Amino acid sequence: MRAWLFVLVLLGALAAAEESDAPVGLVSYIGDSLEFDTDAEDPRASLPHIEVVDLSEYTACRDQGFPSDCKFEYPIPYVPEGEAKKLERALSEAWAKYDARVAHRVDAAIYGTALKCQSSPQDKYLGAWDGTAKELPTEEYCDGDLPSAPVMWYPMVCPSFYLDWEDLLQRYTEAILHGYTNYLVDYYTDVGAALARHAPLALQWENGLFPGGGSAIAPVINLDAGSLEQWADLAERAQDADLRGAAYINQALPGIPRELRKVLRNLPDDERSEDGPGLAQLEALKRMITTRGDIFPEGKPQYWAGKNGGPAPEGETGAALPEEYQAYGVVPMMRVYTKTDTEVSPHTPTFFVACLSPTTPPLPVPIPIPLPIVHVAPRAHTGWEAVPEGWPIPGIKGDPLY
Q: pLDDT tens digits, residue range 175-222?
A: 999 999 999 999 999 999 999 999 999 999 876 666 667 899 999 999
The number of beta carbons lying within 10 Å of the beta carbon of residue 99 is 26
- 53 pairs with which residues across the strands? 26, 73
209 touches 337 (CB < 8 A): yes
Average pLDDT over residues 140-151: 97
pLDDT band at 295 (very low <50, low <70, confident <90, very high): very high
Judge contact between 108 and 137, C-beta under 8 A: no
Q: Element (H or E) spanning 260, and its range?
A: helix 258-265
Q: Ramachandran region of residue 83, left (φ > 0), alpha (ψ -120 to 50) or beta?
A: alpha
CA distances for 69 relative to 45, 50, 52, 65, angstroms:
17, 21, 18, 11
- Closest by CA to 393, choosing from 174, 130, 203, is 203
Three-class SS state of 66: coil
Q: For the residues 97-104, what does the mean pLDDT come to?
A: 98
Among 45-59, 107-121, 130-144, 204-218, the least confident range: 204-218
Cα 226–chain centre separation: 25
Cα angle vertex 347, ends 343, 352, to 5°? Answer: 130
Tens digit of each residue's pLDDT (9 = 90 or more) over 26-62: 999 999 888 898 888 888 899 999 999 999 899 889 8
28 with 3: CB under 8 angstroms? Answer: yes
Q: Are 249 and 235 in contact (CB under 8 A)?
A: yes
Determine contact, residues 2/29, Cβ cutoff 8 Å: yes
CB atoms within 10 A of CB 75: 22
29-38 residue pLDDT tens: 999 888 898 8
Amino acid at 390: G
Identity of the amino acid at 40: A
Give the chain's mean pLDDT.
89
136: nearest Cα among 168, 166, 105:
105
What beta strand segments (E) does 65-222 contain? 73-77, 79-80, 122-123, 134-135, 153-155, 161-163, 203-205, 215-221
Length of the chain: 402
Residue 9's pLDDT band (boundaries 50, 70, 90)? Answer: very low
Which residues have a Cβ under 8 Å from the Cβ of 305 and sit 6 or more positions away? 96, 99, 125, 128, 311, 346
**Cα distance between residue 265 and residue 329, in whole Å:** 14
Q: Are 49 and 76 spatial neighbours (Cβ–Cβ below 8 Å)? A: yes
Q: How far, in Å, are 89, 110, 134, 137, 179 from residue 124 at the CA level? A: 16, 21, 6, 14, 20
**Most distant CA pair in the chain: distance in Å?**
99
Torsion of CA 30, 32, 36, 38, to 10 degrees: -70
224-243 pLDDT, tens per residue? Answer: 866 789 999 999 999 999 88
pLDDT of residue 14: 37
Taking the alpha carbons at both ends of the chain, their separation in whole angstroms is 25
Give whole-number Cα distances, 336 to 192, 213, 215, 396, in Å: 11, 11, 6, 10
CB burial of residue 342 (10 Å; 0-12, 13-18, 19+): exposed
